[in-house]
Amino acid sequence: MTKASNIPIENNIQVCPTQEQASITTAHLIADVIKSKQELGEFAVLGLATGNTPKLVYQELVQMHKNQGLSFKNVISFNLDEYHGITPAHRLSYHRFMRTYLFDHVDILPENIHLPFGTWELNKIEAHCAAYEAKINDYNGIDIQLLGIGRNGHIAFNEPGSPFDSVTRLIDLHPFTRNDAADEFGGLDKVPTQAITMGIHTIMNAKRILLLALGKRKAEIIKKTFESEMTPQIPATFLKARPDIEYIFDTEAASLL
Ligand code: F6R
């Protein structure tokens, strides 16, 4: 295992009093990238996450679009992951999530939206994943990547055991992750067993990375991630390889630090 770095991580942590304030802070960092790229006449390439964590971030970005004229016309988006075996129309697909919480409410061009598909045929998944990576590179990489964290330390669906050099691929979901999703799927047996996910290497290549964690349920894994050396058993520890990663927490998520 690589030794934990002695980065003064505190410098990169913002602890906000509420989930709402942490989300608004995050949304503003993303909006600033969109706007500064607009001023340069360039695309802003966003790496986006799903789940509970970014919901208020997207809500704030939608508000900025509606009330402050923030345009998404120069935005290129790449999502981190998608469940394997479900269609984009499935109520719990990440395609659907992104439309519901962000894309349907802003002026992003449909052709600029990229997510892995849960419908990719097994024998073509490798080629599709390689094409996904190539597409990110075509846009000269991700300008700003938003991450949540799973309670087992996964980032995207890089489950424990994921290597540092992993790229976009099909992965078996960890029992912990499937359990966490059981309620919304209406039972563990209905939760997909696999997903397509960007790899650790894909994520670490982003020019800027924000990790947002909210609520008491995340306090334990945040503590473990910060205290542990880099290990594939807690994939989020790999973020320590980048001293510039920005961590945004609410008081509860940061409560055990
Ligand atoms: C989803 C993703 C996952 C989630 C993580 C936390 O695109 O990348 O890593 O960020 O599972 O999920 P929530 O936010 O629902 O606690």
The catalytic residues are 81, 152, 154, 159
87 domain residue, yes or no? yes
64 domain residue, yes or no? yes
pTM (global) more than 0.85: yes
CATH number at residue 97: 3.40.50.1360
Residue span of the structural domain in which 86 resides:
7-250
CA of 39 to the centre of ligand 1 (A): 32
Domain total of the chain? 1
For β-strands 194-197 and 169-172, DSSP reports them as: antiparallel
CA of 56 to the centre of ligand 1 (A): 14
Ligand 1 atom with the smallest distance to the CA of 51 is 15
Ligand 1 atom with the smallest distance to the CA of 157 is 9
256 domain residue, yes or no? no
Residues with CB under 6 A from ligand 1: 49-53, 80-81, 148-150, 154-156
- Lay out the sheet containing 144-147: strands in order across: 13-16, 246-250, 209-213, 144-147, 44-48, 75-79, 113-114
178 domain residue, yes or no? yes
Per-residue pLDDT of the chain (257 residues; tens, 9 = 90+): 233 333 344 569 999 999 999 999 999 999 999 999 999 999 999 999 999 999 999 999 999 999 999 999 999 999 999 999 999 999 999 999 999 999 999 999 999 999 999 999 999 999 999 999 999 999 999 999 999 999 999 999 999 999 999 999 999 999 999 999 999 999 999 999 999 999 999 999 999 999 999 999 999 999 999 999 999 999 999 999 999 999 999 999 999 99
CA of 157 to the centre of ligand 1 (A): 8
CA of 147 to the centre of ligand 1 (A): 7
Report long-range pairs for 37-44 (Cβ below 8 Å, ≥24 apart). 37/74, 37/143, 38/71, 38/74, 42/74, 43/74, 43/75, 43/76, 43/112, 43/139, 44/74, 44/75, 44/76, 44/143, 44/144
If you take atom 5 of ligand 1, which residue's CA is the nearest one? 150
